[in-house]
Amino acid sequence: MVADALDEDHCLMDLRGRISLALLPDFIAPRQVVRGCTIDLETEDTFRWKSTSGGYSAFSAYALQFEGTLQSSLRHIWLVWAPPKCKFFMWLLLQHRIFTADRLLRFGMPNQYFCPLCQRNLETPAHLFAERPWARQV
């Protein structure tokens, strides 16, 4: 029971050797809040599901798993009708994961460095798809 753990600070003694000094204040602060509350020693502890209804469902578990996370700005790529290989290519392009010369250079792999189409600039995804004169016309 919570009351047993709070009695004579047994909850902190159980953490001995398992927690760093930097994390210790994160455990002490909630303990001080709970110590200020009145605890019914006769009632057993219960587990309650954190959702609006308080009841468990697969949907509530799924929603709870992603609570507080940010949705990817790349999600719209998968909603468009296009062949899967085109969607995958766009997803790689927007994440800067296409193996152009700049990326090959970063991994120490052999490459031509300059764009083979215009021979002027470092080959990057931005150069290939936005900066080149031909790409601007398209």
What is the H or E stretch that residue 96 is in?
Answer: none
- Please indicate, yes or no, whether residues 131 and 81 belong to a single structural domain of this protein: yes
- Please indicate, yes or no, whether residues 42 and 86 belong to a single structural domain of this protein: no
Distance CA 31, CA 127 (A): 56
Would you state the pLDDT for residue 67? 78
User: Which regions of the chain are under pLDDT 50?
Assistant: none
Would you state the pLDDT for residue 101? 87
Would you state the pLDDT for residue 14? 66
Which phi and psi (to 5°) does residue 122 adopt? Answer: -60, 135
Distance CA 88, CA 108 (A): 25
Decide if 6 contacts 39 (C-beta within 8 A): yes
Q: Is 57 left (phi over 0), alpha (psi -120 to 50) or beta?
A: beta
Is 40 inside any structural domain?
yes
Is 41 inside any structural domain?
yes
Is 67 inside any structural domain?
no
- Please indicate, yes or no, whether residues 92 and 131 belong to a single structural domain of this protein: yes
Is 58 inside any structural domain?
no
Is 53 inside any structural domain?
no
Domain count, the chain: 2
Q: What is the DSSP letter of 120?
A: S
- Please indicate, yes or no, whether residues 42 and 81 belong to a single structural domain of this protein: no
Would you state the pLDDT for residue 10? 65
Is 99 inside any structural domain?
yes
- Please indicate, yes or no, whether residues 43 and 86 belong to a single structural domain of this protein: no
pLDDT digits (tens, 9 = 90+) for 75-110: 888 888 999 999 999 999 888 888 888 888 888 888
Last residue of a domain, one of 30, 47, 64: 47
Is 43 inside any structural domain?
yes
Distance CA 95, CA 102 (A): 14
Boundaries of domain holding 14: 2-47
- Please indicate, yes or no, whether residues 133 and 83 belong to a single structural domain of this protein: yes
Quickly list DSSP for 29-91.
HHHHHHHTS---TTSPP-----SSSSS--HHHHHHHHTTTPPPPTTTHHHHS-S-HHHHHHHH
Q: How many CB atoms lie within 10 A of CB 90?
A: 16
- Please indicate, yes or no, whether residues 35 and 80 belong to a single structural domain of this protein: no
Take residue 8 and report the two structure tokens written for it. 């004579």
Is 63 inside any structural domain?
no
